[in-house]
Amino acid sequence: MSQLLLKPNENEKTQGVKIIHEVTKENSPLKYVEFKIVDLAPGAKYSETLGKKECCIVALTGKINVTDKEQTFENIGTRESVFEKKPTDSVYVSNDRSFEVEGVGQARVALCYSPSEKQLPTKLIKASENGIENRGTNNNKRMVHNILPDSDPSANSLLVVEVYTETGNWSSYPPHKHDRDNLPEESFLEETYYHEMNPQQGFVFQRVYTDDRSLDETMTVQNGDVVLVPEGYHPVGVPEGYTSYYLNVMAGPTRIWKFYNDPDHEWILERK
C-alpha cells in the first residue's frame, strides 16, 4: 500500500478517547503539518501541551467543550454528520499553551498542527464565520468551507478548509501543486487530506504526482482514510453515486496558498 495513504485505527488512549489517526513529523514525510483524528465518548477528555506548535481544533461531528485553561468554549460543534454540509465550529490555540477537549456527546475532532513561535490569542472560529465558496463548472463542482484561510490572520502557519465534491465530480482539479517556495508564483505548502464518503462504503481516487514522476501514486481512498501530500499535484475523482468530503490542512514556510496548475490540464478552466 502507498506510504501516502493512511488507514484509520482505533487506539484507545484513555477510557473513551480513541486516536483514529496520528500523523507526526516522526512517522510521516511531512515537516510542517501534523494531524490527528480523535473520537471522544460522552464526558471523555483529551488534553495536550503544545510546545512550539499551533493547533486548530475542528469539531468534525458532535458537540465538544474546549478550554485552554483561560478561556472555555462550551457546547460547540454544529452537526452529527459532515454530510449535513453545514460549517462547524473550531478553536485556534497558539504555541506554548495547553488545551483540553471534552466530548459532550459522542464526538469526532480533528487536531491540525503546524510549527509556530509567535504566540497569538486563542480564538473560537464560529461556524457562521466560515466563508463558503462554490468553485468550478461542469464536472468540477465543489463547495468549500474556509475555516482558516490565508486571508484570516488568526494563525501563524496553519491553513484549514473543508471541501465537498458532488457525485461524479472532480476537485483539487485541474491538478495543482504548491511545492516550490517561489513566491509570488508558487508557495510551498504540505497538505493532509482527511476523507469521508456518503454513503460510507464509497471510495474516491486520489493521485499524487510530480512533474518528473519521481512521485506518481494513484490511491483508492475509503471512508476515514488520510492522504499525505508532501509535494506534487493531488487531484481527487469521485465515482457516480457517492459524495466526497475532505478536510485539508496546509502549512509551510509562508502562510500563503499560491498554487500552480499542471500546464497539461489547465485548458479545462477555459471551458464554458
Is the Cβ of residue 113 or residue 193 nearer to ligand LN3RO5KU in the bound state?
Answer: 193
Nearer to ligand LN3RO5KU, 20 or 144 (CB): 144
Q: Which is nearer to ligand LN3RO5KU, 16 or 253 (CB)?
A: 253
- Residue-level length of the chain: 272
Examine residue 199 and say whether the peptide bond preceding it is cis (omega within 30 degrees of 0): yes
248 lines the binding site for ligand LN3RO5KU (CB under 6 A):
yes
Q: Which among 155, 182, 45 is positioned nearest to 92, based on CA atoms?
A: 155
Count of positions on this chain that bind ligand LN3RO5KU (CB under 6 A):
12
User: Quick check: 174 and 265 in contact, CB under 8 A?
Assistant: yes
Q: Binding of ligand LN3RO5KU at residue 255 (CB under 6 A)?
A: no
Q: Which residues, 122 to 141, sit near ligand LN3RO5KU by CB under 6 A?
A: 135
238 binds ligand LN3RO5KU, rule: CB under 6 A: no
Can residue 192 be called a binding residue for ligand LN3RO5KU (CB under 6 A)? no
Residue range at the interface with ligand LN3RO5KU (CB under 6 A); choices 34-42, 103-111, 171-179, 206-214: 171-179
Contact between 95 and ligand LN3RO5KU (CB under 6 A)? no
| Residues 151-170 within binding reach of ligand LN3RO5KU (CB under 6 A) | 161, 163
195 counts as binding ligand LN3RO5KU under rule CB under 6 A: no
Q: What is the contact surface with ligand LN3RO5KU in residues (CB under 6 A)? A: 135, 142, 144, 161, 163, 171-172, 178, 191, 234, 248, 259
